[in-house]
Amino acid sequence: MTQARTDDTATPAKAPDHTYDVVVVGAGPVGENVADRARAAGLSAAIVESELVGGECSYWACMPSKALLGPVLAQADARGLPGLERMTGGPLDSGAVLARRDSFASDWKDDSQAEWVDSTGTVLHRGHGRLAGERRVTVTAEDGRVTTLAARHAVALCTGTSAALPDLPGMAGARPWTSREATSAEEVPGRLAVVGGGVVGAEMATAWQGLGAQVTLLVRGGGLLSGMEPFAGELVAESLRAAGADVRTGVSVTALSRDACGVTLTLDDGSTLQADEVLFATGRRPRTGDLGLDTVGLAPGDWLTVDDTLRVTGSDWLYAVGDCNHRALLTHQGKYQARIAGSVIAARAQGRPLDTGRWGADSATADHDAVPQVVFTDPEATSVGLTLAQAEEAGHRVRAVDQDLAGVAGAALHRDGYRGRARMVVDLDREILLGVTFVGPGVGELLQSATIAVAGEVPVARLWHAVPSYPTISEVWLRLLEAYRG
Ligand SMILES: Cc1cc2nc3c(=O)[nH]c(=O)nc-3n(C[C@H](O)[C@H](O)[C@H](O)COP(=O)(O)OP(=O)(O)OC[C@H]3O[C@@H](n4cnc5c(N)ncnc54)[C@H](O)[C@@H]3O)c2cc1C
Ligand SMILES: NC(=O)c1ccc[n+]([C@@H]2O[C@H](COP(=O)([O-])OP(=O)(O)OC[C@H]3O[C@@H](n4cnc5c(N)ncnc54)[C@H](O)[C@@H]3O)[C@@H](O)[C@H]2O)c1
């Protein structure tokens, strides 16, 4: 199927300017992949982008944050290896780190990603996309010109999220950082207050403390990384404190203000905190507020609820893929959804049957049962599937098996004074793993082994035959299985 332009003599107010099989709104990692998969299956596709092709992930999230964190984690590893003191004794060269970060953010230019979109045969429309009723999208360009696109088969909303800031007195005047400033700042602040103990808060506190800022991390709950096993947040907090950060739990910001000396935060214990910058890492909200959702009977500003084929509840043509559907706010998981959505849209358009059963090719089953995540703190905190508490809450009969990673030869070799822990959550009725957590330096690359075990529902008895190499950190698998077998 190819792109069809409408007759130039058609009435502009009613007829679309362009018609495609699929129209994708948002060219982040997810939108790019929906369009690519639909094209690969033989459909014509257009993609609409209001900022940079590549989305949040490429310019203000995954890539720049990991470029900032890489040298910090490498230095922490090197400091645990006798013989490297002369190379690692001093502070990081923050200028060099920031310059490398800039290059990983492509200097905030999207030429190469736009070229890639072009190479897939997807047509890029630059401007703000809005639904204008069923299967219609208007694109408002920077100069105000409006183009109307029609979709024969599907519209896929892939508009991601933006930072959610609490409504506090003095917020606007304090000019707080969000994740965008935290990943693109051109200088290391002297004193940085970070509000929020989730993934962004923990990673950015690690990065900027490592780059020379004096970080104060303010967490309103009892600990960091509350979505993971409790020991993950405990180990990360312990390490941040050892690196010199001030980590405070059970504390909330009630107001803030900025003057020539910086930002003053008022805390709920009555005290104040001075900083040069304050980062609010307090979660995300969907970019659905100005998307024309009201024209198709949906509430503007809401997360979009979808089924396992990524189709919006109650619609036969509207899809929502990636962060904006709130299933798993992760690039890799959004791209997994995108591969499914692109091929499902094509199958429905071409009248092919779908395989939507659990773990079927056309069902995003992993969103429920096997979401992997690596938090790039020191130590790295990684998990897939359910925590013990989540498994129990879901009604499974489970047993948690724990191991101290310091006792594994590969971990001890990785860094002196290694601190880390592993847990597997075993479903006692099926003898498979429901979840695995590894926390420790260098465990990020281990997570895929756990993801395969969880998504593959590999029986524990068979895992016994997956022998880890000696002396790697992966040997923790053997220790966990030995402990389980008693
Ligand atoms: C600091 C930070 C670090 C992160 N690190 C990681 C990590 O290490 N690993 C990981 O897996 N995930 C990470 N994430 C999460 C990851 O960034 C998101 O899951 C991912 O970007 C979601 O992709 P998406 O395509 O759904 O949305 P986005 O990347 O947000 O892309 C959406 C695109 O849609 C465009 N858009 C929005 N509305 C419109 C409109 N109306 N018209 C036209 N275009 C529109 C936007 O401009 C944007 O380009 C991180 C997030 C943050 C904030
Ligand atoms: N390495 C990675 O995989 C990675 C890195 C960064 C972000 N991400 C993704 O991006 C998403 C967003 O991350 P995030 O850290 O912004 O959100 P989050 O939901 O993980 O954490 C937000 C934290 O802020 C706290 N909070 C909310 N309102 C608050 C308030 N008013 N005052 C104090 N604390 C408040 C919450 O209790 C929570 O702990 C996450 O879902 C994560 O998956 C992933």
Ligand 2 centre to CA of 202 (Å) is: 9
Exposure class string for 233-271: b at 16+ Cβ within 10 A, else e = bbbbbebbeeeebbbbeebebeebebeeebbbbbeeeee
Q: Where are the domains of the chain?
A: 18-57+105-162+286-366, 171-282, 379-485
The ligand 2 site (C-beta within 6 Å) comprises 166, 195-201, 203, 220-221, 226, 252, 281-284, 329-330, 373-376
Instruction: In whole angstroms, give the CA distance from residue 473 to residue 470.
Output: 8
**Contact (Cβ atoms closer than 8 angstroms) between residue 403 and residue 422:** yes
Ligand 1 site, residue 330, Cβ cutoff 6 A = yes
**Contact (Cβ atoms closer than 8 angstroms) between residue 321 and residue 55:** no
* H or E element that contains 238: helix 230-242
Nearest to 32 by CA among 296, 288, 341: 341
Q: Residue 14's pLDDT is what? A: 55
Ligand 1 centre to CA of 28 (Å) is: 6
Nearest to 129 by CA among 111, 154, 155, 161: 155
Q: Which long-range contacts (CB under 8 A, 24 or more apart) does 75-80 make?
A: 75/210, 76/210, 76/243, 76/378, 76/415, 76/441, 77/414, 77/415, 77/441, 77/442, 80/414, 80/415, 80/416, 80/417, 80/418, 80/441
Q: Identify the CATH assignment for 171-282 out of 2.60.120.620, 1.10.3210.10, 3.50.50.60, 1.20.210.10.
A: 3.50.50.60
Q: Residue 15's pLDDT is what? A: 80
Ligand nearest to the CA of 286: 1
Cα 445 to chain centroid distance, Å, stands at 17
What is the CATH architecture assignment of 379-485? 2-Layer Sandwich (3.30)
Q: Residue 162's pLDDT is what? A: 98
Instruction: In whole angstroms, give the CA distance from residue 203 to residue 457.
Output: 31
Q: Residue 6's pLDDT is what? A: 34
CATH topology agreement for domains 18-57+105-162+286-366 and 171-282: yes
Ligand 1 centre to CA of 423 (Å) is: 30
Q: At what angle do helices 29-40 and 111-119 cross, to 10 degrees?
A: 20
* Torsion angle defined by CA atoms of residues 319, 324, 330 and 333, in that order, rounded to the nearest 10 degrees: -10
pLDDT in tens, the chain (486 residues): 333 333 333 333 458 999 999 999 999 999 999 999 999 999 999 999 999 999 999 999 999 999 999 999 999 999 999 999 877 778 999 999 999 999 999 999 999 999 999 999 999 999 999 999 999 999 999 999 999 999 999 999 999 999 999 999 999 999 999 999 999 999 999 999 999 999 999 999 999 999 999 999 999 999 999 999 999 999 999 999 999 999 999 999 999 999 999 999 999 999 999 999 999 999 999 999 999 999 999 999 999 999 999 999 999 999 999 999 999 999 999 999 999 999 999 999 999 999 999 999 999 999 999 999 999 999 999 999 999 999 999 999 999 999 999 999 999 999 999 999 999 999 999 999 999 999 999 999 999 999 999 999 999 999 999 999 999 999 999 999 999 998
Asked: is 18-57+105-162+286-366 a CATH 3.40.50.2000 domain? The reply is: no
Query: Can you list the positions of beta strands (E) in 17-113?
Result: 18-25, 45-49
Q: Which of 110, 117, 136, 159 should be mutated for ligand 1, with most atoms under 8 A from CB? A: 159
Nearest to 377 by CA among 221, 217, 166: 217
Q: Say what the pTM is.
A: 0.96
Q: What DSSP line would sit under 49-76, residue for residue?
A: ESS-TTHHHHHHSHHHHHHHHHHHHHHH
